[in-house]
């Protein structure tokens, strides 16, 4: 199906573990984004990418790593998960100034 998908939708992991959240879009949009959503903070930008192999930090990048080897995929990795990274993570893509969001991944770090 066309659109933007995220996997897994739900994930529970332990402190210190590495976890990767996947994001895939079928529109061939140039830009992709990762946000985290926390109560009282709205959405905060973690990382974004302007094209394959081009990534840059957002507002809250510490503890996260991204890569973009293909235009359609933009995985987010937590190298050593911490409880403060418990959140809902949204991926988005855009070509101009309108962003399209995926359904989100709810991550719990125990």
Partner 1 sequence: GDSVTQMEGPVTLSEEAFLTINCTYTATGYPSLFWYVQYPGEGLQLLLKATKADDKGSNKGFEATYRKETTSFHLEKGSVQVSDSAVYFCALSDRGTSYGKLTFGQGTILTVHP
Q: Least distance (Å) from partner 1 to the CB of residue 21?
A: 14
CA proximity to 91, closest of 41, 40, 39, 29: 29
Q: Least distance (Å) from partner 1 to the CB of residue 91?
A: 9
Distance in angstroms (rounded) separating the CA atoms of residues 86 and 83: 6
Q: Least distance (Å) from partner 1 to the CB of residue 110?
A: 22
Question: In a 10 Å sphere around its CB, with 0-12 CB exposed, 13-18 middle and 19+ buried, how is residue 31 labelled?
Answer: middle
Q: Least distance (Å) from partner 1 to the CB of residue 90?
A: 6
Nearer to partner 1 among residue 23 and residue 109 (C-beta) = 23
Enumerate binding residues for partner 1 (CB under 8 A): 30-31, 40-45, 48, 50, 90, 92, 94, 96-104
Structure tokens at 40: 């009282």
* Angle subtended at Cα 74 by Cα 19 and Cα 49, rounded to the nearest 5 degrees: 125
């Amino acid at each position: 199906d066309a659109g933007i998908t995220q996997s897994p939708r739900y994930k529970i992991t332990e402190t210190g573990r590495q976890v990767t959240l996947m994001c895939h879009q079928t529109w061939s949009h140039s830009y992709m984004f990762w946000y985290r959503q926390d109560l009282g903070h709205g959405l905060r930008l973690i990382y974004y990418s302007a094209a394959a192999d081009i990534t840059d930090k957002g507002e809250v990048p510490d503890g996260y790593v991204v890569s973009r080897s293909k235009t359609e995929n933009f995985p987010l990795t937590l190298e050593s998960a911490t409880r403060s990274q418990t959140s809902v993570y949204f991926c988005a893509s855009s070509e101009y100034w309108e962003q399209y969001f995926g359904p989100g991944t709810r991550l719990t770090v125990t």
